[in-house]
Amino acid sequence: MNNPFRKDLESRSRPEACTVVIFGATGDLTHRKLIPALYNLQVEGALPAGVKIIGFARRDKSDEEFCRGLEEVNKKVSRSGHDDSIWEDYAENIHYHQSEFQDASGYQRLAERLDEIDRERGGNGHRLFYIASAPEYFDDILENLKKAGINRNKKGFWSRVIVEKPFGTDLPTAKHLNQVVSKTFRERDTYRIDHYLGKETAQNIMVLRFANAIFEPLWNNRCIEQIQITCSENLGMEGGRGAYYDSAGAMRDMVQNHLLQLLSLVAMEPPTDLSADGVRDEKVKVLRSLRQWDTPELVADNVVRAQYIAGHVDGENVVGYREEDRVDPESMTESYVALRVLVDTWRWSGVPFYVRMGKQLPKKATEISIHFKEPPTVLFNALSGGVPGGNVLVMRIQPDEGISLRMVSKIPGSSLRMEPVKMDFHYATSFGKGSPEAYERLLLDSMAGDATLFARRDEVEEAWKFIDHIHHAWHQSKLPPVMSEYVAGTWGPKEADDLLGKNGHKWRRL
């Protein structure tokens, strides 16, 4: 039904009121991210009136107990604070549904409950299923949704599903999961969430590239020497994460999804339009163009894996990876990975993309740096010492979102001396208002049917294809590449420095 009052009121697609069913409702993601995100949307008046939330989980709880637990966490983590009056209204629309994920009757009861909500709405209603459970339940949940018939769109009313990562653990499992999802929901109703894409700076990559005429002419192998994408964390396996992490590792946990998504945004061609498929068509072309490291030798030459050993981070002693709680003492899971990635397209031929991700590094930071070529060796570069470093454009994703550009400037004085200087833009300094949490944006987009910031099936599979070759070399070849070590609190193993050194490059100092 058309709502004429929405037109021109906001410069975004209109989210529609729906019932949000969260599977895995007693988990950390629901408490710390999803419920606070929806609450913040309500505070900002962005959440459509009439949104209902049903938490689906195994534990036995009443609505009141469920809401009380959510409220306690919301008070601690909500970015807009906690207002009792608003929470009271918000919580009236939150309900709890107890069921095992494998229990078909639980889904029948859910279907009846959804029908009852729809009847109160005067007929039918939209439904958004958020699968935030452990990945081993994805199949059961999707199949049971189908059996209960609540996956189907009714006339004029949609049913959509949001699937949390990990979306598979390799290409075969991702394909299997895609098949299960596609049997239950149409691709256009499937939203594979990657919260990195909801971050302000990730969204700003396209704006920076395509709304500023000065960058795009330089965005190619004629002007760019190399690109680095870094995600460093100064944490280890705190909070019982060891068991999950040891089965995943840095490559699966971060590179396959977040970092390859960022890479594809940086490397893609201009899309024909800003529609979800317009953007995702271009992103997937990048992933298809990744040169495959499909032999152990190529993997050894282009990928470094490592585990941290005991050291110091932020002045505290930390144990080595294999000594961490719930980690196999003989684990061969990487806590650090560095890759040289080549994108075989006309634009990027010969430009290496260096991607690194590590745990227990000196600080928390995620950023993309574009390193431009040095000026010709005439004029200033012909002087002794040359020009001190080329231009570097940095897009900081977290924690201090912003953009900086390094340039060379003359030092004041009678002699000709040069130093690099930095022009720095900080979101927090320029825009006093805090950025919304990534989940706020992504939840609204899914209610509005805008899948631009969600991964499409072919993107996920292409990314796994690239990663699987490396995993195969690590875990199934006769002569697997070595597992290196680095001291916790340092910037990774020497081998990672050597990876860039071969091409005369260095990791950017963060």
Partner 1 sequence: MSDYADNDYAMALGKEVAIADVDKELHLLWEEDKASTNASLINLAVYSEQKGAIIKNSEHVQIITREHACRAILIGIDRNNPDASIRAWITAHCHLSHGRKSVCCEQIAFQLTGKSTGRLRNTVFSHLNSDLPLVFWWQGELSSLFSERLYSLIDRFIFDSSEWANPLESYGCIGEAMQSEHSLLPMDIEWTRSSQIRMAVAGLFDDPMAASALQHMSELRVVVHPKHRMAGLQLLAWVIQRTGWKQSKELPLGSDNGDIYHYETTEGSDVVVTIVSDPLSAPVGMMEFKCARCEVRVTRDAGSPYIRQELHAGVHQIERCTPSNSDDSADLVMNQLSRGGNNSLYRAVMPDFLKLLGGELNCGCEVEDV
Positions annotated as catalytic residues are 258
Binding to partner 1 (CB under 8 A) within 365-384 occurs at none
Looking up tokens 């001396």 gives 417
43 touches partner 1 (CB under 8 A) = yes
Is residue 200 a contact point for partner 1 (CB under 8 A)?
Answer: no
Task: For partner 1, give the closer residue by CB, 155 or 478.
Answer: 155
Which residues between 151 and 180 bind partner 1 (CB under 8 A)? none
Q: Which is nearer to partner 1, 28 or 425 (CB)?
A: 425
Using DSSP's 3-state secondary structure scheme, residue 28 falls into helix
Give the shortest CB-328-to-partner 1 separation in angstroms: 39
**Which residue, 296 or 402, is less far from partner 1 as judged by CB?**
402
Restricted to residues 450-479, the positions that interact with partner 1 (CB under 8 A) are: none
Of the candidate residues 19, 26, 30, 42, the single one contacting partner 1 (CB under 8 A): 42
Residue 212 within binding range of partner 1, rule CB under 8 A: no
Q: What is the CA radius of gyration of the chain?
A: 24
Grouping H, G, I as helix, E, B as strand and the rest as coil, residue 218 is: helix
Site string for partner 1, 101-140 (x = CB under 8 A): ------------------xxxxx-----------------
The reply to whether 5 sits near partner 1 by the rule CB under 8 A is yes
Q: Could you count the other beta carbons within 10 Å of the beta carbon of residue 478?
A: 5
Among 272, 143, 187, 144, smallest CA distance to 460 is for: 187
Is residue 428 within the footprint of partner 1 (CB under 8 A)?
yes
The letter for the amino acid at 61 is: K
Residue 50 makes contact with partner 1 by CB under 8 A: yes
Enclosing H/E stretch for 338 = strand 336-342
- Of 61-90, which residues contact partner 1 (CB under 8 A)? 83, 85-86, 89-90
Of these, 429, 501, 503, 506, which contacts partner 1 (CB under 8 A)? 429
Contacts of range 439-443, beta carbons closer than 8 Å, 24 or more positions apart: 439/33, 439/34, 439/37, 439/195, 439/198, 440/37, 440/40, 440/41, 440/46, 440/198, 441/198, 441/203, 442/162, 442/191, 442/193, 442/195, 442/197, 442/198, 443/20, 443/34, 443/37, 443/38, 443/41
Rounded to whole angstroms, what are the CA distances from 44 to 67, 291, 420, 440, 450? 21, 45, 42, 11, 20
Q: Tell me the site size for partner 1, rule CB under 8 A.
A: 40
Strands 365-372 and 224-232: antiparallel
Q: Which residue lies nearer to partner 1 by CB, 6 or 410? A: 6
Task: State the residues that interact with partner 1 by CB under 8 A.
Answer: 1-9, 11, 14, 16-17, 42-45, 48-50, 83, 85-86, 89-90, 92-93, 119-123, 426, 428-434
